A = this chain, B = another copy of it.
Amino acid sequence: MNSLIVVAHPEANSFNRALALAAQQTLESHGNQVRFSDLHARGFAPDEHPRHYSRRKNHERFDALTEQRFSAEHDTLPQDVARECDDLMWAELLVLQFPLWWFGMPAILKGWMDRVFVYGKLYSGSRRFHSGVCRGKRAVLSVTAGASWEACAHDGQEGDTRLILWPINYSLHYLGFTVLEPLIITGVRDAFAGEDSCAHEQGLHAQLRRHAARFADLGAIPAIPFNVAQDWDERRKLKPGTEVHSPFIRHHADWRLG
């Protein structure tokens, strides 16, 4: 299996990078090919911007989707985007490793999505969701959160982290990926809360070992259920009586909506 691990953390010795390397090691030790995209190390530019496009469809007015499609059709994608696209097309497993910042991805990873999920190459109006370019591939988010397990739970003040990741997982579903349940490690900043820092370090190491082990058996991680093509009418509304599969949950722990 070919795997692409994308990591978004500004510190080369971060816990996030250690998690990404642990995943890589496990995958490789099981005979998989792994490519590694450390966005900060690569200096990936997060902002979609006219300066990235050497040839333009429209020089008067910059529309990202228009220029993405044009450059995909003419094989003039920005070089950094082309590289990431190639890795993405090559991969059968995509791992996004990042810390939760302001209830979402760090900007550099959001920018990776804004720029690398190229309109006209990775999706279009007719190639998305169940007819998406990435169908048959798997994707999984691996996320660290500073707050405690309790605060990140379904009834915690930080909001249910699994739920908060929904817009990201839905983006992956949009491309056609089979999306696995996210791997979430909470409480990574407990040392700042005055806890014994040595015990905290040991806890992180234990988390790292558990994390590595999960990549030995990805089949054990359930896929997130989504509604299928037949569930939607021609206006893209859910048909009456359809069971809802959505990562939005009620306030209790059941992740499906009634």
Residues of A that sit less than 8 Å from B by CB:
10-11, 13, 40, 46-50, 61-65, 101-108, 110-111, 113-114, 117, 125, 129, 146-148, 150-151, 153, 155-159, 163-164, 166-168, 170-171, 174, 189, 192-193, 227, 232, 235-238, 244, 246, 248-251, 257-258
- Residue A49 contacts which of B40, B48, B167, B246 (CB distance < 8 angstroms)? B40
Given contacts A47-B40, A150-B235, contact A170 B103 (CB under 8 A): yes
**A248 nearest CB neighbor, chain B only:** B248
Across-interface contacts of A258 in B (CB, < 8 A): 250-251
- Residue A167 contacts which of B50, B104, B250 (CB distance < 8 angstroms)? B104
Given contacts A61-B13, A251-B258, contact A106 B102 (CB under 8 A): no
Verify A236–B148 contact, CB threshold 8 A.
yes
Copies of the protein in its oligomer: 2
18 sampled A-B residue pairs with Cβ under 8 A: A10-B50, A11-B62, A11-B63, A46-B47, A47-B106, A48-B107, A101-B113, A102-B171, A102-B174, A103-B168, A104-B168, A107-B107, A107-B114, A125-B193, A151-B235, A155-B237, A157-B238, A250-B258
**A44 nearest CB neighbor, chain B only:** B47
Verify B47–A236 contact, CB threshold 8 A.
no
Given contacts A102-B113, A106-B114, A251-B246, contact A11 B164 (CB under 8 A): no
- Residue A104 contacts which of B10, B13, B104, B250 (CB distance < 8 angstroms)? B104
Verify B46–A46 contact, CB threshold 8 A.
yes
| In the bound complex, CA of A163 to CA of B108 (Å) | 23
Across-interface contacts of A151 in B (CB, < 8 A): 235-237
| In the bound complex, CA of A257 to CA of B151 (Å) | 18
Query: Which 8 residue pairs of A and B lie closest in terms of their CB atoms, listed nearest first?
Result: A107-B111, A103-B167, A46-B107, A151-B236, A157-B236, A107-B110, A251-B257, A11-B62
Across-interface contacts of A61 in B (CB, < 8 A): 11, 13
- Residue A47 contacts which of B108, B168, B250 (CB distance < 8 angstroms)? B108
- Residue A236 contacts which of B10, B156, B163, B244 (CB distance < 8 angstroms)? B156
- Residue A248 contacts which of B101, B103, B153, B163 (CB distance < 8 angstroms)? B163
| In the bound complex, CA of A237 to CA of B149 (Å) | 10
How distant is A117 from chain B, measured CB to nearest CB, in Å? 7
